[in-house]
Amino acid sequence: MVDFAGWEMPVQYEGIREEHSAVRTHAGMFDVSHMGEVEVEGPGALAFLQRVLSNDVAAVAVGGAQYSCLCGEEGGVLDDLFTYRLGGDRYLIVTNSANHESDLAWLGRWSREFDVAVRDVADRYAMLAVQGPHARRILTATLGVELPARMRVAHVRVGRRPALACGTGYTGEDGVELLIDPEIAPAIWAELLDAGVVPCGLGARDTLRLEVCFPLHGNDLSPDRNPIEAGLGWCCKEETGFVGAEAVARARREGTAEKLAPFTIEGAGIPRQGNPVLADDEEVGAVTSGTFSPSLEIGIGMAYLRADLAAPGTEIEIDVRGKRRNGRVGSKPLYAR
Amino acid sequence: MADASYPDDLRYHPEHDWARIEGEEATFGITWYAQDSLGEVVFYDPPEVGATIAKDTAYAEVESVKAVSDVIAPLSGEIVAVNEGLADAPERVNDDPYGEGWLVRVRLTDQAEVEGLLSAADYRKLLESD
C-alpha cells in the first residue's frame, strides 16, 4: 500500500502485468474513490462552467460527458477533468484527488460572479472504474443496469441506491466508471470479484494510461505548462472566453518552445520520471512519466522536448541512471489494439 | 511465484543477496524477499564478463514495472559468467530466485570475506526484526 494524496492505495493486488493484461483482454476494476467530485448547479451553471473550463461546455447535451482543462489566468493547467451533465442546469465534475481542495477554492472564487452553487460532494461517492473488453457485459449481467454509451452518463440504481454510470475511463479500453454510495461499494466490489473482474492497483492504472498516452496531472501536466504544449489543444475552445483563453490562444498562435511527446525505448532500459532526454549530446528535455509497457514489452514514456524534436520518428537518447538508452518519439497512442 | 524460502546451503548479505560458494567461485542472486518486494522483474542489466566487483557495492540492476533496484555484491571478485537467459525471461528471478534466476558467477578474490556473510538462520532473523 502507498499513500496517494492522503489515501491508502494498493500499487498492485496480484501483479501489475497480470492486472494490466486483464484490462486489455478481459475486465479489471480499480477502486478510484480517491477521485473528487464537485457538483455545480443553478441557472448560471453553464455560463460559469464555460468561464472556468477550457472546452465548449455548451456542446454537452444532458447525459453527456466532456474532458477539459481547468486553466489558470496565465494558461497553466491547474487540473484536467471530466464534466458530466446530469440535468438541465446540473453538472458533476470529477477532480484529481491531489487537486481537489485547490480546484474547489478556484471554482468557488470564480462562481461568485454567477448564479450557481458549487458543492463538494466527494464524500457522497465511491468510484469504481470497471474497464476492459468484457467490462460492460459483466456489469450488465451482475448489476442488471442499462449502461450508457461511450462519453455518456446515466442515472442508474446499484444495490437499490441511486448511482451514476459513466462511459469513461483512463485505460484506453471500453468500460464504465461507477459513482456509487460508499456504503454499498464493498458489496459491489465483492460481487464483481465473484463475476471474474480482476482487481487492479495504481501500478496497472499507470501502465495502461501511459500506453495510450493519457497525461497524468502532477507528472505530465502542471500549472507551469499550458494545454498547447501538453498536446491538449483539442479540448481548448478559446472563443468561449474561459479563464486563461488568451494565454492559450497566444501559445497556439505562436507555438511553444517545448512539447509533450510520447516515446519508446529501442532495446533495453526503462525510463523513469526525471530522466534527462538528449539529442546530439545536448539536453533537450526531461521524462515526465516512464515505465515498462506490459503490452509492448519495452520501456515507454512521455517527455517535454524541444518543439523541433517532438515529431514522431525523431531519434532521442534517454539518460537512465547514467546509461544512455536509444529512444524514438512515437505517435499517440503508443499502444493500439 | 514460489513460496518464501531461504536455503540452508547459501550464504546471505543483509542487502538481500545470496551467494552459493563453490571453491574459488560463487554464484550470486537476490533472495526471495528481494524479488517479492520488487515485484515482477521485467529487466536485468548485467555487468560485463571480466568486470571486477567489490563487496557491498552495486554490480547490476534489476527492474520491475514499478521500480529499479541496485544489486549489491555480497563478495568481491571477477565476473566469469552472467545469466544470459534472463534477457528473454527476466521473470525467472521471481519464479526461481535460487535456481534459474541466478544473476552472475564470480571468481572470488578474497575468500576471507565469506566469513562475514549471514547463514540462512541469521538472515531469517534479520527479516523478522525488520
Which residues does chain B have within 8 Å of residue A268's beta carbon, measured at their own beta carbons? 43, 45
In a domain, B106, yes or no: yes
Concatenated DSSP letters of A199-254: EE-HHHHHHHHHHTT---BTTTB-TTS-TTTTT-GGG--GGG--TTHHHHHHHHHH
* Closest in A11, A272, A292 to B42, CB measured: A292
* Alpha carbon distance A77, A70 (integer Å): 6
Which residues, including other chains, have CB under 8 Å from residue A201's CB and lie 6 or more apart? A9, A10, A11, A12, A13, A16, A19, A30
* Closest in A268, A269, A294 to B65, CB measured: A294
Antiparallel, parallel or unpaired: β A258-265 and A77-87: unpaired
Count of domains for chain B = 1
Are A302 and A253 a contacting pair, CB within 8 Å?
no
B39: contact with A, CB 8 A cutoff? yes
- What distance in Å separates residue A267's CA from the closest CA in chain B? 11
- What distance in Å separates residue A115's CA from the closest CA in chain B? 47
Q: Which value does ipTM take for this structure?
A: 0.75
Do B43 and A292 count as a contact with CB atoms less than 8 A apart? yes
Q: Is B113 helix (H, G, I), strand (E, B) or coil?
A: helix
Tens digit of each residue's pLDDT (9 = 90 or more) over A200-243: 999 999 999 999 999 999 999 999 999 999 999 999 999 999 99
Q: Is A3 helix (H, G, I), strand (E, B) or coil?
A: strand
Alpha helices in A26-143 (DSSP H): 45-52, 100-111, 135-143
* Alpha carbon distance B41, A162 (integer Å): 43
Which residues does chain A have within 8 Å of residue B64's beta carbon, measured at their own beta carbons? 16, 292
The pLDDT of residue A9 is: 86
Domains by residue range for chain A, with CATH: 2-33+125-211 (3.30.1360.120), 36-122 (3.30.70.1400), 257-337 (2.40.30.110)
Find which of A292, A296, A319, A323 to mutate to test the B interface (most B CBs within 10 Å of its CB). Answer: A292
In a domain, B23, yes or no: yes
Tens digit of each residue's pLDDT (9 = 90 or more) over A155-179: 999 988 999 999 999 999 999 999 9
In a domain, B4, yes or no: no
B48: contact with A, CB 8 A cutoff? no
CB pairs under 8 A between A and B: 39
* Alpha carbon distance A18, A21 (integer Å): 5
pLDDT grade, residue A2 (50/70/90)? Answer: confident
In a domain, B1, yes or no: no
The pLDDT of residue B1 is: 55
A207: contact with B, CB 8 A cutoff? yes
Q: What are the distances in angstroms from CA A186 to CA A177, A189, B100?
A: 15, 5, 41
**In the block, which residue shows the cell 481547468?**
A70
Which residues does chain A have within 8 Å of residue B42's beta carbon, measured at their own beta carbons? 17, 270, 292, 297
- What distance in Å separates residue A36's CA from the closest CA in chain B? 25
| Average pLDDT across chain A, whole number | 96
Average pLDDT over residues A121-142: 97
Which residues does chain A have within 8 Å of residue B63's beta carbon, measured at their own beta carbons? 270, 292
Find which of A17, A202, A289, A291 to mutate to test the B interface (most B CBs within 10 Å of its CB). Answer: A17
- What distance in Å separates residue A291's CA from the closest CA in chain B? 6
Provide φ and ψ at A25, rounded to 5°: -120, -20
A265: contact with B, CB 8 A cutoff? no
Query: Torsion-angle region of residue A75: left (phi > 0), alpha (psi -120 to 50) or beta?
Result: left
* Alpha carbon distance A254, A241 (integer Å): 19
Confidence check: pLDDT of A7 > 90: no
Size (chain B), residues: 130
Do B66 and A268 count as a contact with CB atoms less than 8 A apart? no
Do B43 and A270 count as a contact with CB atoms less than 8 A apart? yes
The pLDDT of residue A5 is: 78
Closest residue in A to B38 (Cα–Cα): A15
CATH number at residue B36: 2.40.50.100
Do B66 and A11 count as a contact with CB atoms less than 8 A apart? yes
Tens digit of each residue's pLDDT (9 = 90 or more) over B35-53: 999 989 999 999 999 999 9
A203: contact with B, CB 8 A cutoff? yes
In a domain, B6, yes or no: no
The pLDDT of residue A44 is: 98
Do A269 and B66 count as a contact with CB atoms less than 8 A apart? no
Tens digit of each residue's pLDDT (9 = 90 or more) over B50-98: 999 999 999 999 999 888 899 999 999 999 999 999 998 999 999 999 9
Exposed/middle/buried for B81, CB within 10 Å: 0-12, 13-18, 19+?
middle
In a domain, B53, yes or no: yes
Alpha helices in chain A (DSSP H): 16-25, 45-52, 100-111, 135-143, 185-194, 202-211, 245-254
Can you read off the three cell numbers belonging to residue A26?
478481459
Average pLDDT over residues B95-102: 96
Domain that holds residue B67: 11-129
Can you read off the three cell numbers belonging to residue A333?
497512442
- What distance in Å separates residue B45's CA from the closest CA in chain A? 8
Tens digit of each residue's pLDDT (9 = 90 or more) over A256-271: 999 999 999 998 899 9
Query: Torsion-angle region of residue A280: left (phi > 0), alpha (psi -120 to 50) or beta?
Result: left
Find which of A9, A13, A14, A16 to mutate to test the B interface (most B CBs within 10 Å of its CB). Answer: A16
* Alpha carbon distance A158, A150 (integer Å): 19
In a domain, B82, yes or no: yes
